[in-house]
Chain A
Amino acid sequence: MSQSGSQSENQSENKFDSAHDLQHFLKLAHAQVQSRRKKLEQAKDTHARQIRLLEELIREQIHLPGEKKP
């Protein structure tokens, strides 16, 4: 791994240990994942299911409201 790659990894690791940063990045990721999932669903792409699974994991992690009960 290059020097810059290693530094980048360390920065990500630090972000993971900071609850505030983690929430921030996961909220950003959630929006992108949701957007991609909707496009895939419109295109009837079977990969939408895998994306949906990731979307649900992020949602659970950052306590975003979903269905009232699953």
Chain B
Amino acid sequence: MNPANDVALENERPRVDIRQKITGAARYTADQQPARMIFAKAVRFPYGAGKVVSADVEAAKKVKGVLEVEVDMEEVAEYPGAPIGHIVAESRAAIEDAEEALALKFERTAPKTDPVALHKAPESPQGGVFEGAAAVVEGTWRTQVQTHSCLEPHGSVVDHRGASAEVWGSTQTTFGHLDGMKGPTGLDASQIVVHCEYVGGGFGSKFGIGREGDLAARMSKKYQRPCKAMLDRSEEHLDGGNRPGSIQYIKLAADKDGKLLGGRMDLVSIVGHGRGGGGVAGLGDVYDLGAIEETESEINLNFAKPRAFRAPGWPQAVFALEGALDALAAKLGMDPIAFRIKNDKSQRRKERQYRVGADLIGWKDRKPDGTATGRVRRGFGMGSALWPTWPTKCGAQADIFRSGRVEVRVGVQDIGTGTFTLVTDVAAHELGIDRDLVTGRVGDSRFPAGPGSGGSQVSRSAAPATVNAVRDALDQLKASVASEWKIDKEKVKYGKGTFSTEDGAKKLEWAKACALLADEKVTGNGRTETGTEGSGTSDCVQFAEVEVDTETGIVRVKKIVAVHAAGVVVNRLTFENQICGGVIQGISYALFENVRLDPKTGAMVNADFIGYKIAGSKDIPEIVPVLDVEPGDTGVRPIGEPSTIPTAAAIANAVSNAIGARIMELPITPQRVLAALESKGGAA
């Protein structure tokens, strides 16, 4: 933001919308219930592949409250949950009754559900860097398909009124939603208003209006009534987004001093029936890996296409690479941190983050891999990551009212990360006034445009845009004061709520100055064209301490230390909240989450929150978020994505350290731990 400003922005007040979130007053898209609303829902194919062979559409149409039913008998479905039609009705219950009345009969074809069976193991490369290397590690790491599992499912409520439409969207991009609604509503952006004040999570899966948004818009237009189309929990798993799985063959060589020489990586993404989701990414960004020969390919399964998922490609890549690095360090007889310092590209990590994290986790208690004894064994592990920045445009508007109150408006959405709080606190800090005088408003397409919540770019762009808008409004207020004092505007000084003349002879407090305004309010506009003011790469390292019960294979994560460069932290609580959220999602990915496809029918057998296991309160350890600052940190840096990247890698390395066998596959279930203990195999 402004290097000249003091950067002690950090405050510890609860997020501004905490009361709304805790009491349920926050109204999400799923909560919207305009009068005369109708409901729409897709009819979905339940199995891996095939088509509908019979549907009693007439019976479904006869169900009380049903407005229309369509089933596409020609559609060849390629994944469980593939939409093959839709039902529109007066209530959700009527839709379900119509689904039953449809009495769909299907023809199934053999689904592709097993990526390992479809994977061709590469031949082990010889010669080159491997010749004469002091240590070589070779192995195949695998990761599962993970669903985004947003608590608020995907969906929209659209109220089409002929020449205008009001839209509520559970989306990561207010303006993407606006754009997407143009087609199905047949309206111009000037005729559409999109609301998304409160969004119950997205994690990368809520870009674009989706088929559900499209359906809601078309049906609202057709019936000229508000229409709601929200996915249910099963649909959310099946067709609400997923992180691609991976099969990563890695062979790496290092010299006797621990310097990486290079090697070979065959990276295969498991991508459902399409492409996307970021594959396996980021491998060469953290460490100087030497001369790497890399291939990338894909395996298609009969499952929904992947979508971007909180650091697309990264958690899976870092899990495999950090596992290979630990294996190499062990072969060289080096401490894993010393080994990484030899190869790390980041000064921050080398000079500070490794040391700080190691101290806090108790790294000195770490024993060499596999030397722990007893039934319950303790292990320590770590993993590193980063997140970059790139140019992002964002606008903001700020009103200063005659009453002394301030309103800041930024069109971007708050997907739970604290955008409301960010713009409020930034404006209050910039003006040097109490936060209670400021109202932050976000998630409305009538406000200045800004980016989607993807790639951790909202905070770092909304913050400088807000500063600029507030300064513009303040400038206008200064003009009023100058006019009152009959001096030039440039001669009015301002700081911490007080206006003064250069010589300090005249002073005016905030409220009295605002009262001078000729109109009810002045409005300032602000922008950033880059969103990188004072920002930079978010380097991080996370450490894990685990206990493994070697009799049952059950892993308990005891502690995670997460050291993150986050630049200027606007609000300490939202920073810690974001880091803890990322770590919890990482723990859940490391130990539990897994899409299970039936090998015969291709159905996802665990498309709920019972069979699809997500970390619960007792699975969550002590989490220590550490803000890594250094002189020159003057802007806001990304933390949304990096906070979840290295968690699984750190846990896997800690488990490997505890049991003396490498964990080669996520999730780290008791089954896999017991198998690893039995074989003591893995990377060799």
Q: Do A and B come from one complex?
A: no
Residues of A whose CB lies within 8 Å of any CB of B are none
